[in-house]
Chains A and B, each alone.
Chain A
Amino acid sequence: MEKRVTFKNAWLPYLLLAPQLAITAVFFLWPASQALFQSMLLEDPFGLRTEYVWFDNFQELIDDPLYLRSMGTTAVFSLSTAALALSSALLLAVMADRVIKGAAFYKLALLWPYAVAPAVAGVLWLFMFSPANGILALALRAVGYEWNHVLNGGEAMVLVVIAAAWKQIAYNFLFFLAGLQSIPKSLIEAAAIDGAGPAKRFWTIVFPLLTPTSFFLLVVNVVYAFFDTFGIIHAVTSGGPAGATNILVYKVFADGFVGLDLGGSAAQSVILMIIVGALTVVQFRYLERKVQY
Chain B
Amino acid sequence: MIENRPYLTYLSHAILILGVIIIIFPVYVALVTSTHETSDVISKVQSWFGSQLIENYRTVLVTGKLSAGGYPLGSMMLNSLIMAVCIVVGKIAISIISAFAIVYFRFPGRMFCFWIIFMTLMLPVEVRILPTYKVVVDLGLLNSYTGLTLPLIASATATFLFRQFFLTVPDELVEAARVDGAGPIRFFLTILLPLSRTNIAALSVILFIYGWNQYLWPLLITTDPDMTTIVMGIQRMLFVADSVPEWNLTMAAALLAMLPPAVVVLVMQRQFVKGLVETEK
Contact = CB atoms under 8 A, between A and B. Distances in A.
B277 A178 contact: yes
A192 B3 contact: yes
A207 interface: no
B247 A230 contact: no
Interface in A202-250: 216, 220, 227, 230-231, 234-235, 249
Contact of A227 (B41, B95, B124, B174): B124
Given A252-B126, A257-B129, A123 B238 contact: yes
B122 A38 contact: no
Interface extent on A, as a size class? 35 or more
A112 B100 CA distance: 33
A114 B265 CA distance: 9
A127 B119 contact: no
B262 A115 contact: yes
Given A24-B119, A133-B247, A253-B216, A102 B13 contact: yes
Contacts of B187: 7
A71 interface: no
Interface in A88-147: 88, 91-92, 95-96, 98-102, 106, 108-121, 123-128, 130, 132-135, 138
Contacts of B235: 119, 231, 234-235
B26 interface: yes
Interface in B246-281: 247, 250-251, 254, 257-258, 261-262, 264-266, 269, 272-273, 276-277, 280-281
B193 interface: no
B119 A3 contact: no
Given A20-B159, A192-B2, A220-B280, A114 B15 contact: no
B94 A19 contact: yes
A116 B261 contact: yes
A272 interface: yes
A14 B264 contact: no
Interface in A1-29: 1, 3-10, 12-14, 16-17, 19-21, 23-29
Contacts of B89: none
B150 A23 contact: yes
Interface stretch (B57-65, B66-74, B104-112): B104-112
Contacts of A121: 26
Contacts, number: 299
Given A23-B154, A128-B26, A280-B121, A13 B131 contact: no
Contacts of A227: 124, 126-127
Interface string B4-38: 01001101110110011001111101100100000
A234 B187 CA distance: 48
Interface stretch (B48-56, B194-202, B207-215): B207-215
Given A7-B104, A95-B15, A12 B184 contact: yes
A169 interface: yes
A197 to B, nearest CB: 9
Contact of B104 (A3, A31, A92, A280): A3
A38 B80 CA distance: 33
A103 B3 CA distance: 18
Interface in A70-97: 88, 91-92, 95-96
A116 B26 CA distance: 12
A92 B16 CA distance: 6
B261 A17 contact: no
A269 interface: yes
Given A12-B184, A114-B209, A256 B130 contact: yes
A34 B127 CA distance: 12
Which 9 A/B pairs are nearest by Cβ-Cβ distance?
A: A31-B131, A117-B213, A231-B215, A115-B261, A34-B131, A16-B101, A13-B105, A27-B151, A13-B101
Given A25-B116, A133-B41, 11 more contacts: A14-B101, A19-B97, A20-B94, A27-B151, A31-B131, A102-B13, A112-B262, A120-B231, A175-B277, A256-B130, A287-B281
Interface of B: 1-3, 5, 8-9, 11-13, 15-16, 19-20, 23-27, 29-30, 33, 41-45, 93-95, 97-98, 100-107, 110, 113, 116-117, 119-124, 126-136, 150-151, 153-155, 159, 166-167, 171, 174-175, 178, 183-185, 187, 209, 212-213, 215-216, 219-220, 231, 234-235, 238, 247, 250-251, 254, 257-258, 261-262, 264-266, 269, 272-273, 276-277, 280-281
19 contacts: A19-B97, A20-B155, A28-B154, A31-B128, A32-B127, A35-B127, A92-B19, A98-B12, A112-B265, A117-B212, A120-B258, A123-B254, A124-B30, A127-B251, A192-B2, A227-B126, A231-B216, A256-B130, A273-B128
